[in-house]
């Protein structure tokens, strides 16, 4: 039995089981992976990650900081270029060992299903509580504060480690907004998306991972240490999170996930006074459907290779870190054609 009495309108809560933590990733099974493997014809592989120290000085989200690399220490001794002869004169080994302080959603990343919840009366008592996908309660099993037995984790359920265990591997399908709209800012609803799918002869299958090339990450890469925030706000297509028909299309298509090369996937500058969601596409995908979102992937080289071959599908491998309790994760996606 589900641990909730009400489920949000338009959601799939319970469809994959009362305690499901994978959502639409359930659409990818052995059959889908075998079909995805058929997209490998030449054996060419493409890295779809930005360097994880980008976007550099640009503050897309002030809570998320660039990675800080440092040596590991034994006592007060840093283990970088460390000769073990300092420990035992007969040894000739030289050791380097490091550690990193990293915001998991700073650069190329996955959002887990624990990233965005909502105030919703799931238990039917007339009072909205903080809940996440499939009715998981924030005060019971989603967000904790570490403590005994949690190993310092925050998301005891719905974390990225569920995606890592599955893992994320299947057919990725590239929709090239840059080729269709150019590099300027374009708001893309269902009508515009279907226009591009027709123009690029893209046929989606259940379980596909939709990859959206907008040009945003390419602009970041080109800017390197001199990012231009105003220029970036005018760069690349963004999905219209307020378009209910686009929400319906995502549900009906039965895609497994959406990975974009921009920040937030949807328009981050929608009306902040609009009631009652700041990120309506995140709400529909993460909260209602359990459909993971990914941001700041790098797609230019892959897009050029696919266009020259008249193709749009790849074999995609993109598991997040197997880090219990993590809400987001850096990722190094690999597309093979």
Q: What pLDDT score does 152 carry?
A: 54
Q: Are residues 38 and 170 in the same domain?
A: yes
Q: Retrieve residue 205's tokens.
A: 């299958």
Q: Are residues 54 and 78 in the same domain?
A: no
Q: Are residues 85 and 192 in the same domain?
A: no
Residue 1 forms part of a structural domain: no
Q: Are residues 166 and 273 in the same domain?
A: yes
Give the range of the structural domain holding residue 271, as residue numbers without chain letter.
23-59+105-116+155-336
Q: Are residues 325 and 245 in the same domain?
A: yes
pTM, whole model, 2 decimals?
Answer: 0.94
Q: Are residues 54 and 91 in the same domain?
A: no
Q: What pLDDT score does 148 carry?
A: 43
Largest Cα separation within the chain, whole Å, is: 73
Q: What pLDDT score does 144 carry?
A: 60
Q: What pLDDT score does 223 carry?
A: 86
Which H or E run contains 82?
A: strand 82-83
DSSP code string of 157-199: SS-HHHHHHS--EEEEEEEEHHHHH-SB-EEE-HHHHHHHHHH
Q: Are residues 197 and 89 in the same domain?
A: no
Determine if residue 106 is left, alpha or beta; phi over 0 gives left, psi from -120 to 50 gives alpha, anything else beta: alpha
Q: What pLDDT score does 107 carry?
A: 95
Q: What pLDDT score does 137 carry?
A: 87
Q: Are residues 90 and 209 in the same domain?
A: no
Residue 237 forms part of a structural domain: yes
Q: Are residues 216 and 78 in the same domain?
A: no
Q: What is the pLDDT of residues 113-162, one digit of tens each?
A: 999 999 999 999 999 999 999 999 876 666 664 544 444 566 788 999 99
Q: Which residues of the chain have pLDDT under 70?
A: 139-154, 225, 272-273
Q: What pLDDT score does 13 carry?
A: 98
């Amino acid at each position: 039995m589900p641990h909730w009495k009400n489920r949000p309108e338009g959601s799939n809560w319970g469809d994959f089981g009362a305690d499901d933590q994978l959502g639409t990733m359930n659409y990818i099974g052995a059959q889908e992976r075998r079909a995805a493997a058929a997209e490998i014809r030449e054996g060419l592989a493409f890295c779809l990650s930005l360097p994880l120290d980008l976007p550099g000085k640009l503050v897309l989200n002030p809570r998320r900081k660039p990675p800080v690399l440092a040596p590991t220490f034994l006592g007060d001794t840093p283990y970088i270029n460390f000769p073990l002869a300092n420990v035992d004169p007969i040894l000739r080994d030289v050791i380097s060992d490091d550690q990193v302080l990293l915001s998991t959603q700073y650069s190329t990343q996955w959002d887990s299903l624990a990233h965005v919840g909502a105030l919703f009366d799931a238990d039917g008592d007339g009072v909205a509580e903080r809940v996440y996908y499939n009715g998981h309660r924030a005060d019971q099993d989603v967000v904790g504060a570490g403590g005994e037995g949690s190993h310092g984790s925050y998301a005891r359920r719905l974390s990225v480690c569920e995606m890592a265990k599955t893992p994320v591997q299947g057919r990725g399908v590239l929709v090239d907004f840059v080729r269709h709209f150019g590099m300027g800012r374009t708001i893309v609803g269902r009508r515009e998306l279907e226009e591009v799918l027709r123009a690029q002869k893209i046929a989606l299958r259940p379980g596909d991972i939709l990859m959206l090339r907008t040009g945003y990450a390419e602009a970041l890469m080109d800017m390197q240490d001199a990012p231009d925030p105003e220029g970036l706000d005018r760069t690349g297509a963004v999905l219209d999170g307020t378009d209910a028909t686009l929400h319906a299309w995502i549900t009906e298509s039965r895609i497994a996930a959406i990975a974009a090369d921009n920040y937030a996937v949807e328009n981050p500058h929608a009306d902040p006074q609009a009631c009652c969601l700041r990120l309506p596409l995140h709400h529909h995908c993460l909260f209602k459907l359990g459909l993971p979102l990914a941001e700041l992937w790098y797609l230019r080289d892959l897009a050029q290779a696919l266009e020259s071959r008249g193709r749009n599908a790849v074999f995609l491998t993109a598991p997040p870190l197997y880090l219990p309790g993590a809400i987001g994760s850096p990722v190094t996606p690999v597309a093979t054609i």
